[in-house]
Amino acid sequence: MQIDRLPRPFLEEMRTLLGEVEYEAFLASMDEVPLSGLRVNRLKVSTEKLTETFGALQPVPWTKNGFYREPGGEYTSHPYYYAGLYYMQEPSAMSSAALLGTKPGERILDLCAAPGGKSTQIADDLQGEGFLLSNDLSASRARALLKNIELMGIGNCCISCEDSGRLKNEYPLFFDRILVDAPCSGEGMFRKHPAVIKAWLEHGKDFYCPVQSKLLDDAADMLRPGGTLLYSTCTYNRNENENQIAAFLDRHPDFSVDPIPATHGLTASAFLPGTVRLFPHKARAEGHFVARLKKSEEAQPIGTANTVFSGKKETQLLRQLQPSLDEFFSASARKPDPSRLKLQGDYILQLPEATVLRAPLRYLRTGLLLGQISHGRFKPSQALAMYLRAEDFENPISYSADDPAVRRYLRGETLEATDSGSGFRLFCVDGYPLGFVKQDKQRYKNLYLPGWRMQR
């Protein structure tokens, strides 16, 4: 990028932050090509399998399953992208969820989750067990988050569109781990997305400080005693990073820094021991800050509100619908759990195992959308196709990635059947589901979600 596009006050701040020698190295790094990455979705595929396809990509050092993209690679037009086998993610952004330390079965809140880079990474670590609540205040951004959650085949996530204050009232002391990937001034993204500079000039670098403090305070109330709170930004200035965390620790004496080792390309912060930064002149990364905090075990529980489950009428309706569900899933190895079904109009969802829903909150999605009941028959959703594995469903159809039938399917075309199956079938690329078809003698009727179609 052109250095003269960078605001003078920003450059002065960086000079103070880094000292003269490092500042020169930082300036030089701003002229280098920004980095892009992809993260393998281990809910669907192994890292080894994917590297067979794309060659030996360079691993991102601070996460298990992230890689740098090679320039010119056709990653977003490859059918595997449509199968949700990987997520395109900026390499430094992979550090936050990697350092959160999620374990299968835990309850996790991703408070500022859209468009879902870290939520999909957390879900990968949960391995289908436990409960992930992915929240974002912006409804339009939350819709992009929903698509990514569905594409990655995640079944144990609820998505809410809420202010953290309202969430806090409903989920006191509830979560094992909370990620606050805060809205910030974005200085660390200047090299990759120069458009961010305009917003920085308009708002000033401290614009997001009050909302960051509030998000942290509300997250503190939702974390169980002994739980982990991880705060990250993609900016350099201290007010949004170390100073923000130091002020939080002053307000919350029951929290302490859980030190992050300064290894694998992470740099120890010079201003708050135990927190780390990523710099483009020291690692193959854009700018990033991460602080991990631990809540003391002694914090006092403050009671929990009631959980909302299906009402009487809904339970009755679900019972009536059960035979059509049973018919659809008769040959499936992944049958829905009747005790976790939820009706929303004509739509049937399966709640995550450990779900707790609170009536006053706005949820965009509560678990896995199985499908829709239409004229008394069950019609499977795109999300269900992405969640299933080929072996979970009867008689899948599979083509290799370079067969033109795959791209025709992704464009929404009806295909000629090549065998004599019937009814709903999973259409796969190399054994990875892309969506459903409904076979009618010689034709595969295409049920791929129109909004997800590959452009011609």
Ligand X SMILES: C[S@@+](CC[C@H](N)C(=O)[O-])C[C@H]1O[C@@H](n2cnc3c(N)ncnc32)[C@H](O)[C@@H]1O
DSSP 375-412: TTEEEE-HHHHHHS-GGGSSS-EEE-TTSHHHHHHHTT
Q: Rg of the chain's alpha carbons, rounded to an integer?
A: 23
**Nearest-5° Cα angle at 85, 356 to 100:** 50
**339, amino acid identity:** S
Query: Closer CB to ligand X, residue 214 or residue 282?
Result: 214
Q: Least separation, in Å, of the C-beta of 210 and ligand X?
A: 10
Q: Least separation, in Å, of the C-beta of 93 and ligand X?
A: 6
Residue pair 189/286 in contact (Cβ under 8 Å)? The answer is yes
Q: Least separation, in Å, of the C-beta of 136 and ligand X?
A: 5
Residue pair 280/30 in contact (Cβ under 8 Å)? The answer is yes
Query: Closer CB to ligand X, residue 244 or residue 381?
Result: 244
Query: Closer CB to ligand X, residue 118 or residue 342?
Result: 118
And the tokens for 440? 């009618």
Q: Least separation, in Å, of the C-beta of 125 and ligand X?
A: 14
Active-site choice (157, 158, 184, 234): 234
Annotated binding site for S-adenosyl-L-methionine: 112-118, 136, 163, 181
DSSP 37-62: EEEE-TTT--HHHHHHHH-SPPBPTT
Query: Closer CB to ligand X, residue 185 or residue 382?
Result: 185
DSSP 66-126: EEEPPTT--TTTSHHHHTTSEEE--GGGHHHHHHHT--TT-EEEESS-TT-HHHHHHHHHH
Q: Least separation, in Å, of the C-beta of 94 and ligand X?
A: 9
Between CA 315 and CA 341 the distance in angstroms is 9
> Where along the sequence are the contacts to ligand X (CB under 6 A)?
93, 111-118, 135-138, 141, 163-164, 181, 183, 211, 215
Residue pair 198/207 in contact (Cβ under 8 Å)? The answer is no
Q: How many CB atoms lie within 10 A of CB 183?
A: 18
Q: Please report, for residues 93, 133, 402, the alpha-carbon distance to residue 278 in angstroms, rounded to integers and kept in the order given.
A: 10, 27, 39
Q: How many CB atoms lie within 10 A of CB 315?
A: 12
Query: Closer CB to ligand X, residue 162 or residue 430?
Result: 162
Question: Within its chain, how far is the Cα of 223 from the centroid?
Answer: 20
Query: Closer CB to ligand X, residue 161 or residue 426?
Result: 161
Annotated binding site: 112-118, 136, 163, 181
φ and ψ at residue 123, rounded to 5 degrees:
-60, -35
* Annotation says 234 is catalytic: yes
Q: Least separation, in Å, of the C-beta of 275 and ligand X?
A: 17
Q: Which residues are catalytic?
A: 234
